[in-house]
Amino acid sequence: MNFESKLDSLREEIITSLCSINEFPDNLLPHIVFVEETEKSLSNGNTFYCDYNLLKIFPDKTCILENQGTGEEDKRFMNEINIDSLLEVWNFYKKLSGKNEERDVTELLKQMELIATNLITTQYITDFKIHDTVFIHDSKAEIPFVWFVYHSRTHIYALNNKNEIKNFIEKMNYFEKYTNSEFCLYKYDGNNLFPVFHKVLKKWAEEELSKYSF
């Protein structure tokens, strides 16, 4: 199964779970979600993300969305909602209903890998200080780490382990010397996930590594 298939599978799993909820907790809805729209007035048909209020969810995998700008309500399919938003709604539901399950770093990586693929394939920039930080908190991620995203792959390097820090520095050195590939770096400090310039993060990692005695 390729990354796109995994992403579709995860989206369908989340939608099925949300549409199977018998009783929605207070404060779950309305919830801000993002939907990819096409600008029909433009000849090139550019797409963009528009924010809506998710008002209702139905068992037939449809929902009611409210346009934040006009207040107009419309019945739409759940699969039109961006997967980041679906995941946020699902995690918020678990938090409100007391169904949070602790995930280890491996499971966290699998989830973030799909999000990373979605970011790259749709060229959509997530507000990491809101959406993914909520996901990380709900995932019980307590260890600071670096999230390294490139092409359709991603890695997590724990920042409290000298071998992980060393591996991260080696990866940065390799990319700087041998590739022209674009990549993104995000640092999670235990509270927020935010983008970081690679030279800044590499310098910090080298300073941290120097504190260890090998």
Distance, in Å, from the CA atom of 180 to the CA atom of 111, rounded to the nearest integer, reads 27
Phi and psi angles of residue 104, each rounded to the nearest 5 degrees, phi first = -85, 180
**DSSP E strand stretches across 21-72:** 31-38, 47-57, 62-67
Q: Report the pLDDT value the prediction gives residue 41, as an integer from 0 to 100.
A: 44
Q: Report the pLDDT value the prediction gives residue 8, as an integer from 0 to 100.
A: 79
| Rounded to 5°, angle at Cα 187 from 83 and 84 | 5
Place of tokens 């491996």: 106
What are the Cα distances from residue 177, in Å, to 41, 145, 206?
44, 24, 17
User: Over the stretch 26-83, which tens digit does the pLDDT of each residue have?
Assistant: 888 989 888 877 665 444 556 677 889 999 999 999 999 998 888 899 999 999 998 8
Percent of the chain residues topping a pLDDT of 90: 14
Q: Could you state, in order of their start, the residue ranges of all structural domains in the chain?
A: 3-97, 105-209
Is 21:57 a contact under the CB 8 Å cutoff?
yes
Q: Report the pLDDT value the prediction gives residue 207, as an integer from 0 to 100.
A: 85
- Lowest-pLDDT range of 77-81, 117-121, 135-139, 196-200: 117-121
Please give the residue that has the higher pLDDT: either 143 or 207: 207
Fold adopted by 3-97:
SH3 type barrels. (2.30.30)
User: Over the stretch 94-132, which tens digit does the pLDDT of each residue have?
Assistant: 878 765 444 455 555 566 666 655 655 555 445 454 455
